[in-house]
Amino acid sequence: MKLSGKTVLIGISAGIAAYKTCYLVSHLVQEGAEVHVIMTPNARHFVDPLTFETLSGNRCISDTFDRDFEFDVKHVSLAKKADLFMVAPATADVLAKMACGICDDMLTTTFLAAGCLKYVAPAMNTGMYLNEITQKNIETLKGYGVNVIEPASGHLACGDVGAGKMPEPEQLFDIICGALAREQDLAGKSVLVTAGATQEAMDPVRFITNHSTGKMGAAIAKEAVERGASVTFVKAATTVPDPEGCKVVKAVSAAELLDEVMARSDSADIIIMAAAVADYRPKNVSSDKMKKKDGDLTIELERTADILAELGKKRADGKTPEGQFVCGFSMETKDLLENSRAKLDKKNCDMIVANNLKEEGAGFGHDTNKVTLITRDSAEELELMSKQDVARAIFDRILQH
Ligand code: CTP
C-alpha cells in the first residue's frame, strides 16, 4: 500500500465536482492513507458528509464550533498531523479566501494553519475561472507555495464548454501519490542550502544588491525536504516564501552569510550555494544618511570573502567531513562552460550548476531554468525545465556521485 502511514486532508468547497472527490477519498483509503475530509458548510448541499464519513472512516468536519468531538483543537491537530492537504473542488470563493488568509470556516482555518504540502484543484464556470480576479488569486496562492492543479477543459455542469472542470479523481490520486510516495533517498542526510541576494550597506538607507529572488534555492531546499533530508536554508534577501520543513537562518550581507555557512558547514553532508553573493561591498559604511552634494559621487568598494572558495580551501586543508559534497552555481552571460569550469577548479567544489542569464527562461525570477551540470569529468546540458525539476536533477546527480 503506497500511502500507509500518510495522513491526507481533503477539503471540499461548494462545487458540483464534489461528487468526484468521493472516488478520490475511496482510492486514498484503499492505498492505506488516513483520510480526513473537511467541508465548507455550503459543500454539504452537494454531497452529504455521511458519504465521506463512510468512505474515510473518520468524522467529516465542517462546523468550526462543533462541541461533539474529542477534546483537541481540531483545525490545529489536523493541520499538524497532515502530510498533504488538497482542496478539490476549490471554488472561486474559497480560492479568494485562501489567497487573502480569511478563515471563516473549518476548511479555510485548517488550510492556513497547515504547514504541509498543499494542493488546490480549481473547479468552476469558465467565466469565473478566467476572470482576472480569480487568476490573480491563483497566482497569489502559487506565490505562497500552494500547488495549483490546472483545471481541464470540457463540458461544464452549467452547460458551458471551456476551462474550469476538475480533473478526474484518478488524476488527483496520482498527484497525491507522486507527492507523498517519493523515495526518501536523502533520509539521514543533512543539507545546507543558501539562497537569495546579499545586501551590502552604503549607509542606513542604501545598499548594493542584485536581482536574485531565491526561487532556485527555495526549490532546492523543498526538493531536499521532500526526499527526507534535514535541511538548513540560509537565506539572504528573497521574494519567495520560505520552503516548508526547513530550519531557516537569515543573513543579510556576504559577511553574515559567510559566518552562517561556516558555522554550519561541518555538520552538512551536502552544501549547495545557490545564493547570489556580492563580490564587493562599500569600503566605508556611513553611520548616517549620506547627503547629496553637487557633482558625481565615487564609492570605493572592497572585495567580500568568496564563501564557496573558503569551503574549497577548508577541503584542500583536509578540514571538511569525509564525503561532503559541495555544489556551487555559476551565472554567466558568455563563455558559460569555460568560465564555469574555471570556477569549479578555483573554488575546489564537486559540481557547478551553470546558467546563462541571456538564455530564454533562465536565471533570475523565472519559474524555469536552463542549466548545465558540470563536474570534473562531465558536463550535462539539461533542457529548459521548471526550477523544481532542476532541483530534482541536481540531487539525482549528487546521489549518483
Ligand atoms: N559565491 C560565493 N561568495 C562570493 C561570490 C560567489 O560563495 N563572494 C558563490 C556563489 O554562491 C555561487 C558561486 O560562488 O555558488 C559562483 O558565483 P558567481 O557569481 O557565478 O561567480 P563569481 O565567483 O562571483 O565570479 P564572477 O562574478 O566573476 O563570475
Tens of pLDDT along 67-99?
555 556 666 888 999 999 999 999 999 999 999
CB 302: neighbour CB atoms within 10 A? Answer: 10
State if residue 271 touches ligand 1 by the CB under 6 angstroms criterion: no
User: Ligand 1 mean position to 8 CA, how many Å?
Assistant: 41
Q: How far is CA 163 from each of CA 9, 94, 129, 134, 151, rounded to the nearest angstrom? A: 26, 18, 7, 13, 6
User: Ligand 1 mean position to 307 CA, how many Å?
Assistant: 8
State if residue 373 touches ligand 1 by the CB under 6 angstroms criterion: no
Cis? peptide before 49, omega within 30° of 0:
no
State if residue 200 touches ligand 1 by the CB under 6 angstroms criterion: no
Cell numbers for 266: 561541518
Among 20-24, 119-123, 238-242, 303-307, the range scoring the smallest mean pLDDT is: 238-242
From 273, 310, 333, 341, the mutation candidate for ligand 1 (largest count of ligand atoms within 8 A of CB) is 273
From 200, 310, 330, 350, the mutation candidate for ligand 1 (largest count of ligand atoms within 8 A of CB) is 330
CB 189 within 8 A of CB 229: yes
Fold of 190-400: Rossmann fold (3.40.50)
State if residue 349 touches ligand 1 by the CB under 6 angstroms criterion: no
Element (H, E) at 280: strand 280-282
Q: How far is CA 116 from each of CA 136, 146, 147, 231, 355, rounded to the nearest angstrom? A: 23, 10, 11, 15, 31
Catalytic residues: 158
State if residue 254 touches ligand 1 by the CB under 6 angstroms criterion: yes
User: Ligand 1 mean position to 127 CA, how many Å?
Assistant: 47
Answer whether residue 226 shows pLDDT above 90.
Answer: no
Fold of 7-180: Rossmann fold (3.40.50)
The DSSP code for 102 is -
From 253, 277, 347, 358, the mutation candidate for ligand 1 (largest count of ligand atoms within 8 A of CB) is 277
Which atom number of ligand 1 is nearest to the Cα of residue 310? 7
| Tally of CA atoms within 13 A in the half-sphere of 65 that contains its CB | 1
Rounded to an integer, the average pLDDT of 26-37 is 97
- The model's pLDDT over 227-238, given as tens digits with 9 standing for 90+, comes to 888 899 999 999
State if residue 312 touches ligand 1 by the CB under 6 angstroms criterion: no
CA 139, CA 149: separation in Å to the nearest integer?
12
Q: How far is CA 340 from each of CA 199, 215, 224, 345, rounded to the nearest angstrom? A: 24, 21, 24, 9
State if residue 335 touches ligand 1 by the CB under 6 angstroms criterion: no
Q: Tell me, what's the pLDDT at 153?
A: 86
User: In 3D, which of 158, 80, 168, 172 has the Cα closest to residue 119?
Assistant: 172
State if residue 306 touches ligand 1 by the CB under 6 angstroms criterion: yes
From 279, 341, 346, 347, the mutation candidate for ligand 1 (largest count of ligand atoms within 8 A of CB) is 279
Q: What are the start and end residues of each CATH 3.40.50.10300 domain in the chain?
A: 190-400
User: Ligand 1 mean position to 68 CA, how many Å?
Assistant: 59
Q: Tell me, what's the pLDDT at 69?
A: 54
Q: Tell me, what's the pLDDT at 6?
A: 94
Answer whether residue 163 shows pLDDT above 80.
Answer: yes
User: Ligand 1 mean position to 252 CA, how many Å?
Assistant: 16
State if residue 279 touches ligand 1 by the CB under 6 angstroms criterion: yes
* Sheet of 147-148, strand order: 34-39, 7-12, 84-90, 117-122, 147-148
Q: Residue 109, SS3?
A: helix
- The model's pLDDT over 139-153, given as tens digits with 9 standing for 90+, comes to 999 888 788 898 988
Residues in the chain: 401
CB 388 within 8 A of CB 221: no
Which atom number of ligand 1 is nearest to the Cα of residue 305? 8
State if residue 328 touches ligand 1 by the CB under 6 angstroms criterion: yes
Which atom number of ligand 1 is nearest to the Cα of residue 327? 15
Model confidence band, residue 359 (pLDDT cutoffs 50, 70, 90): confident
Q: What are the start and end residues of each CATH 3.40.50.1950 domain in the chain?
A: 7-180
- The model's pLDDT over 99-108, given as tens digits with 9 standing for 90+, comes to 999 999 999 9
Q: How far is CA 153 from each of CA 12, 150, 163, 168, 217, rounded to the nearest angstrom? A: 20, 9, 4, 12, 34
Which atom number of ligand 1 is nearest to the Cα of residue 343? 23
Model confidence band, residue 184 (pLDDT cutoffs 50, 70, 90): confident
Q: Tell me, what's the pLDDT at 341?
A: 98
| Tally of CA atoms within 13 A in the half-sphere of 195 that contains its CB | 28
User: In 3D, which of 75, 80, 78, 77 has the Cα closest to residue 56?
Assistant: 78
CA 11, CA 36: separation in Å to the nearest integer?
9
- Average pLDDT score over the chain: 93
Q: Tell me, what's the pLDDT at 67?
A: 56
Q: Tell me, what's the pLDDT at 357?
A: 87
CB 319: neighbour CB atoms within 10 A? Answer: 10
| Residue recorded with cell 568598494 | 301
- Residues in a beta bridge with 163: 153
State if residue 275 touches ligand 1 by the CB under 6 angstroms criterion: yes
- The model's pLDDT over 269-306, given as tens digits with 9 standing for 90+, comes to 999 999 999 999 999 999 999 999 999 999 999 999 99
- Residues in a beta bridge with 232: 192, 247
